[in-house]
Amino acid sequence: MDQAVMTGGFADPPIQSPQAFRAAMTAMARPGDILAVTGAQAPAPVSVAASVLLLVLCDPGTPVWLATSHDSADLRRWIAFHTGASVVAARGEAVFALGTWDSLLSLADYRIGTPDYPDRSATLIVEMPLLRAEGAVLQGPGIKESAQLSVPEVAPLRVNRALFPLGLDFFFTCGSDLAAVPRSTVVTDPAEVV
Amino acid sequence: MYVAVKGGERAIENAHAWLAEARRGDTRVPELDVAQIREQMALAVNRVMAEGSLYDPDLAALAIKQARGDLIEAVFLIRAYRTTLPRFGASKPVETADMRCDRRISATFKDAPGGQVLGATFDYTHRLLDFKLAADGEVPPAAMAPAQAGSVPHITEFLNRDGLIQTEAPSCETPPDLTREPLEFPANRALRLQALARGDEGFILGLAYSTQRGYARNHAFVGELRIGRVPVEMEIPELGFSIEIGEIELTECETVNQFAGSKTAPAQFTRGYGLVFGQTERKAIAMALVDRALRWRELGEDNLGAAAQDEEFVLSHCDNIQATGFLEHIKLPHYVDFQSELELVRRLRAEAEAVAKEAAE
Amino acid sequence: MTEYTFAYLDEQTKRMIRRAILKALAVPGYQVPFASREMPMPYGWGTGGVQVSAACLVPEDRLKVIDQGADDTTNAVSIRRFFEKTAGVATTTRTAEATLIQTRHRIPEAPLTRDQILVYQVPIPEPLRFLEPRETETRKMHSLEEYGLVHVKLYEDIARHGQIATSYAYPVKVEGRYVMDPSPIPKFDNPKLESAAIQLFGAGREQRIYALPPYCQVVSLDFEDHPFEASKADHICDLCGSATSYLDEVIVDDAGGRMFVCSDTDYCETRRAAGHRGRLAATEEEHFA
């Protein structure tokens, strides 16, 4: 097994994974907040933040789907070696999906949970060229009045919100930064906000 | 007063020290060692292994010693230890037909190939206190017989050969594991059996007894009860074949129950199944009866509203570690909630008095 | 306890709990099933809260543990020690200094901040359980948003007692969707459920985790003509003189004498340190001396 596959994991998992999870949890609890994480690097083009999320959240119980933007033999082997998660061929089987926004679409194909078990839904890790507290307006649980986040597109997130309590949850990653938009967040185009 | 209601660190430390002293008892009496418990309290050890879901007689004996003989407390110690153990993999299913039986009886046939073997049983002892044991536990050696050769077929298979008993559909599906996944209803039979095998012996016994007394009676006969040792094998992917990693003692009970049948399907006996770690036959028989009662839907029987038929009721309440924890937690302080109830009752009474007074005026 | 990993639970168990926490935050008030592990303390004694805390703790945390509002009740002491031993985290009794607070039955009086996490120990997470014992039924009721039964129960109270006779574990509706059990906190604490902090609820024996993100809308169920009221004993604290904190009633002598003191011990001590005095503060200090 080559170097790219063996390296890039946490040097001290029992200490680094709690720290990384705390950031991920804070992001999910406070949609729009941008947090920095460190400590993991999957093969290119995966960002540090997305690598950290894979390590913290994935294991043999969580099938992962890789969008074409990110799918590679190296990444598959990295995920298998560091997390034990299986990479699946169909989006509908995935608990986590990773890729750029365009390559993750359409959102209609992922698991959105069932009325009995809305938690059985996919979480998408969306790699972004840029992640800033500007652009679309976020409102809902976790947000005091409103927040802003440079999400790639508003309309699909609004469709997702309409499914509540079913729906997908999103992490947006860029470099070592991450932010989250859960299904509970109402996303509005800034032009529509009076 | 106020300060005295608080526990504090020192109170806990002192309680722990007192507990250790109480566990040891009178120091003029020799201390029990773990091997003595393992060898001479073997049935207690077996129960702790079965309900603790961990096959290790030495650890179970240690837990009994530490728990001062409180078996549920010992089961708890084993469970809490078990949860910290890494999981290396799953064994192949054990083959109980290959069991080297120390005991094997059938109530449905006078004799069967392989014979009836009573083994070490209390069954025909007269329950008279043996005062000689108080002085001297030495015993003469028991008579020996040559070990059985080859596998001992299951008695229910003889019935099955004639189609007289329902065939269980074989399955290669990985059974669910309630120690790794949250319990979800409806539960399939494999999950129910797992819960029953770990469940409290007294609870399962009481439920089984209730079916015998008419709360979803299913006319059970002990088709076969066997106790003995089976090898445990594990596939080693790196080797490409399986190897024997050890041997465990099991008790297996198959009951032959009331037949089912209809105009289209000819009458057939049905089965209940019990399989438990160690020599634990009361538990295995009870488990088989409750298993059978829980199968009412699959066998097209009526739900009679009996407790033993109600899978949510049985599975949610059979675990003695969950039950004892929740039961005993009411010892913890609840004075905040009690205070809110106190205020409420006072207010309700004050309002009622005011209304009564108004009416009187 | 070097033989155990940081915060006791193995990495895979923590990952499973962490995934449940994320989903719980994404669907506020919904109870996420999780494969609760057997902990070295009994079910019913905070195993759910302990597992949630263990999955969230970082070495930099400063942990506070309270039971009935007090840091020095025996079970709070025992849980705090568990984390001192297994996670080596710093601990505190000061609400303002804590980054993670595990609680049983109370919400601290001082408003929590956005940098704090409050973890509740939950005995029965299902708000409909005492109305319908079957999990299969209550799950259906939640999925259909069919909460008529709770209102019927509350209304029966009014018919019998003239008011709603639920004084703790008072049900709430979260973001207009899920009816949630806030754990057995007195209903006095319900308004504090709308908080800047992240609130996580762990029920170990019942295998459920649920959450309230910050600033989440939490409404105590009531009726227009019988609005919800966050009541408490009609007294002031005999030690610090607070008229707004939740009070414990303590019987002080055989003649039925009693005093009322803050249930939140840190709140009370902080006030006394700032010079506030109640009716019996002087005698209490003598007692300490």
Q: Is residue B11 assigned to a domain?
A: yes
Residue A14, pLDDT > 90, answer no
The residue of C32, C43, C72, C129 whose CB has the most chain B CBs within 10 angstroms, and thus the best one to mutate to test that interface, is C43
Q: Strand (E) positions, B24-176?
A: 100-105
User: Per residue in B276-292, is it b (16+ CB within 10 Å) or e — as a string?
Assistant: bbbbbbbbbbbbbbbbb
CA pair distance A97, A123, nearest whole angstrom: 7
Note the pLDDT of residue B209: 97
Q: Is B170 in the same domain as B310?
A: yes
**Any chain A CB within 8 A of the CB of C28?**
yes
Contacts of C11 in chain A (CB under 8 A): 13-14, 17
Q: Is residue A48 assigned to a domain?
A: yes
Note the pLDDT of residue C4: 66
C132 in Cβ contact with C138 (< 8 Å): yes
Q: Is residue A192 assigned to a domain?
A: no
Is A119's CB within 8 Å of C32's CB?
yes
Tell me the range of B146-155, B347-356, C150-159, C170-179 where mean pLDDT is highest. Answer: C170-179
CA pair distance B270, C230, nearest whole angstrom: 58
SS3 A107: helix
CA pair distance B16, A191, nearest whole angstrom: 66
Q: Once rounded to an integer, what is the mean pLDDT over residues A136-143?
A: 98
Q: Find the CB nearest C167 among B181, B325, B344.
A: B344
Report residue C268's pLDDT band, with 50, 70 and 90 as the boundaries.
Answer: very high
A121 DSSP assignment = B
The chain-wide mean pLDDT, for chain B, equals 91
CA pair distance B228, B250, nearest whole angstrom: 6
CA pair distance B192, C45, nearest whole angstrom: 26
Rounded (5°) CA angle C103-C108-C113: 100
Q: At what angle do helices B71-82 and B42-52 cross, to 10 degrees?
A: 50
Q: Once rounded to an integer, what is the mean pLDDT over residues B16-25?
A: 96
Q: Is B162 in the same domain as B225?
A: yes
Beta bridge pairs of residue C226: C223
Among residues C71, C76, C70, which one has the least CA distance to residue C50? C76
B276 in Cβ contact with B251 (< 8 Å): yes
Q: Is B72 in the same domain as B188?
A: no
Residue in A with minimal Cα distance to C177: A165
Contacts of C57 in chain A (CB under 8 A): 18
Note the pLDDT of residue C288: 47
Among residues B218, B211, B214, B212, which one has the least CA distance to residue B314? B211
A31 in Cβ contact with A180 (< 8 Å): yes
Residue C62 has a CB neighbour count (10 Å cut-off) of 15
SS3 B252: strand
Q: What does residue A44 show for φ and ψ, rounded to 5 degrees?
A: -55, 150
- Give per-residue pLDDT as tens, C45-104: 999 999 999 999 999 999 999 999 999 888 999 999 999 999 999 999 999 999 999 999
Report residue B359's pLDDT band, with 50, 70 and 90 as the boundaries.
Answer: confident
What token pair was written down for A82? 């560091």
Q: Once rounded to an integer, what is the mean pLDDT over residues B244-248?
A: 95
C113 DSSP assignment = -
Residue in C with minimal Cα distance to B13: C78
Q: Is residue B324 assigned to a domain?
A: no
Q: Is C216 one of the annotated active-site residues of the chain?
A: no
Note the pLDDT of residue A95: 98
Q: Is B11 in the same domain as B78?
A: yes
Q: Is C56 one of the annotated active-site residues of the chain?
A: no
Catalytic residue among C46, C69, C202, C240: C240
Q: Is residue A194 assigned to a domain?
A: no
Report residue B239's pLDDT band, with 50, 70 and 90 as the boundaries.
Answer: confident
Among residues C157, C260, C127, which one has the least CA distance to residue B342? C260
CA pair distance C193, B305, nearest whole angstrom: 41
Q: Is residue A190 assigned to a domain?
A: no
Q: Is B21 in the same domain as B129?
A: no
Give the helix ranges, DSSP H, for A8-163: 13-29, 48-57, 73-83, 101-104, 155-162
Q: Find the CB nearest C58 among A19, A114, A118.
A: A19
What token pair was written down for C68? 């009935």
Q: Which amino acid is at B28?
A: R
Among residues A81, B143, C191, B51, which one has the least CA distance to residue C182? C191
What is the tally of structural domains in chain A? 1
Residue with tokens 């250790």: B20
Report residue C283's pLDDT band, with 50, 70 and 90 as the boundaries.
Answer: low
B180 Ramachandran zone, left/alpha/beta (phi>0; psi -120 to 50) = alpha
Note the pLDDT of residue B113: 80
Q: Is residue B220 assigned to a domain?
A: yes
Among residues C182, C30, C71, which one has the least CA distance to residue B340? C182
CA pair distance C62, C93, nearest whole angstrom: 10
Contacts of A138 in chain C (CB under 8 A): none
What token pair was written down for B209? 């007894």
Note the pLDDT of residue C3: 58
B120 DSSP assignment = S
CA pair distance C230, B344, nearest whole angstrom: 12
B241 vs C3 pLDDT, higher one: B241
Interface of A with C in 160-179 (CB under 8 A): 164-165, 169
Interface size A-C, in CB pairs within 8 Å, comes to 115
Report residue A179's pLDDT band, with 50, 70 and 90 as the boundaries.
Answer: very high
B3 vs C67 pLDDT, higher one: C67
Strands B221-236 and B241-260: antiparallel
Contacts of B187 in chain C (CB under 8 A): none
CA pair distance B11, C123, nearest whole angstrom: 25
CA pair distance C250, C258, nearest whole angstrom: 5
Residue in B with minimal Cα distance to C187: B340
Note the pLDDT of residue C289: 40
Cα separation values, A169 from A17, A27, A109, C63, Å: 20, 12, 14, 30
Beta bridge pairs of residue A188: A137
Question: Residue A41 is part of a domain; what is its CATH number?
Answer: 3.40.50.11310
Contacts of C214 in chain A (CB under 8 A): 29-30, 141-144
Q: Is B254 in the same domain as B297?
A: yes
C190 DSSP assignment = G
Q: Is B218 in the same domain as B263?
A: yes
Among residues C10, C239, C36, C247, which one has the least CA distance to residue C121? C36
Please report which helix (H) or strand (E) contains residue C91, including its range: strand C90-91
Q: Once rounded to an integer, what is the mean pLDDT over residues C220-248?
A: 93
The sign one gets for the Cα dihedral B3, B6, B12, B17 is: positive
Residue C2, pLDDT > 50, answer no
Note the pLDDT of residue B6: 53
Residue in C with minimal Cα distance to A180: C26
Residue A53 has a CB neighbour count (10 Å cut-off) of 27
Neighbouring residues of C256: CB distance < 8 A, sequence distance ≥ 6: none
- Give per-residue pLDDT as tens, B301-311: 889 999 999 99
Q: Which amino acid is at B322?
A: Q
Q: What does residue B131 show for φ and ψ, rounded to 5 degrees?
A: -65, -20
Residue B41: which domain range? 2-82
- For the ranges A5-19, A152-166, A170-184, B306-320, which has the lowest average pLDDT? A5-19
Q: Is B131 in the same domain as B229?
A: yes
**Contacts by B349-357, CB closer than 8 A, 24 or more apart:** B351/C162, B351/C163
Catalytic residue among C29, C49, C202, C278: C29
Residue B94, pLDDT > 90, answer yes
- Give per-residue pLDDT as tens, C156-172: 888 888 888 899 999 99
Residue A129 has a CB neighbour count (10 Å cut-off) of 10
Q: Is residue B174 assigned to a domain?
A: yes
CA pair distance C95, C101, nearest whole angstrom: 8
SS3 A178: strand
Q: What does residue C193 show for φ and ψ, rounded to 5 degrees?
A: -65, -25
- Give per-residue pLDDT as tens, A38-85: 999 999 999 999 999 999 999 999 999 999 999 999 999 999 999 999
- Give per-residue pLDDT as tens, C99-129: 999 999 999 999 999 999 999 999 999 999 9
- For the ranges B44-48, B120-124, B352-356, C258-262, which has the lowest average pLDDT? B352-356
SS3 B258: strand
Is A25's CB within 8 Å of C140's CB?
no
Strands C100-104 and C62-67: parallel
Q: Is B340 in the same domain as B212?
A: no
Q: Which amino acid is at A63?
A: P
Note the pLDDT of residue C1: 37
Q: Is residue B327 assigned to a domain?
A: no
Residue B14 has a CB neighbour count (10 Å cut-off) of 11
Residue in C with minimal Cα distance to A18: C58
Q: Is B303 in the same domain as B172?
A: yes
**Any chain C CB within 8 A of the CB of A69?**
no
Residue A52: which domain range? 3-182
Residue B3, pLDDT > 60, answer no
Q: Which amino acid is at A139?
A: Q
Residue B127 has a CB neighbour count (10 Å cut-off) of 6
Q: Find the CB nearest B325 among C42, C184, C207.
A: C42
SS3 A73: helix
Contacts of A139 in chain C (CB under 8 A): none
Contacts of B1 in chain C (CB under 8 A): 250, 252-253, 287
Distance from CA of C249 to the nearest CA of A (A): 36
Q: Which amino acid is at B2?
A: Y
Q: Is B164 in the same domain as B307?
A: yes
Interface size B-C, in CB pairs within 8 Å, comes to 149
Q: At what angle do helices B42-52 and B201-212 cross, to 10 degrees?
A: 90
The chain-wide mean pLDDT, for chain C, equals 93
The residue of A25, A52, A166 whose CB has the most chain C CBs within 10 angstroms, and thus the best one to mutate to test that interface, is A25
Residue in C with minimal Cα distance to B346: C233
Is A22's CB within 8 Å of C28's CB?
no
Q: Find the CB nearest B12 among C78, C233, C259.
A: C78
CA pair distance B187, B297, nearest whole angstrom: 12
CA pair distance C215, C196, nearest whole angstrom: 6
Report residue C6's pLDDT band, with 50, 70 and 90 as the boundaries.
Answer: confident
- Give per-residue pLDDT as tens, B167-187: 888 888 889 999 999 999 999
The share of chain B scoring above pLDDT 70, in percent, equals: 97
Q: Is residue A191 assigned to a domain?
A: no
Q: Is residue B273 assigned to a domain?
A: yes
Is C22's CB within 8 Å of A57's CB?
yes
Residue in C with minimal Cα distance to A23: C56
Q: Is residue B323 assigned to a domain?
A: no
Contacts of C234 in chain B (CB under 8 A): 343
Residue B36 has a CB neighbour count (10 Å cut-off) of 13
C274 DSSP assignment = T
Q: Is B355 in the same domain as B251?
A: no
Interface of B with C in 224-243 (CB under 8 A): none
What is the tally of structural domains in chain B? 3
Contacts of C207 in chain B (CB under 8 A): 182-183
Note the pLDDT of residue A194: 60
Catalytic residue among C44, C268, C275, C278: C268
Cα separation values, B207 from A173, B224, B315, Å: 55, 21, 12
B184 in Cβ contact with C139 (< 8 Å): no
Q: Which amino acid is at C80?
A: R
Note the pLDDT of residue B2: 37
Q: Is residue B31 assigned to a domain?
A: yes
Residue with tokens 């393992």: B38
Is B7's CB within 8 Å of C167's CB?
no
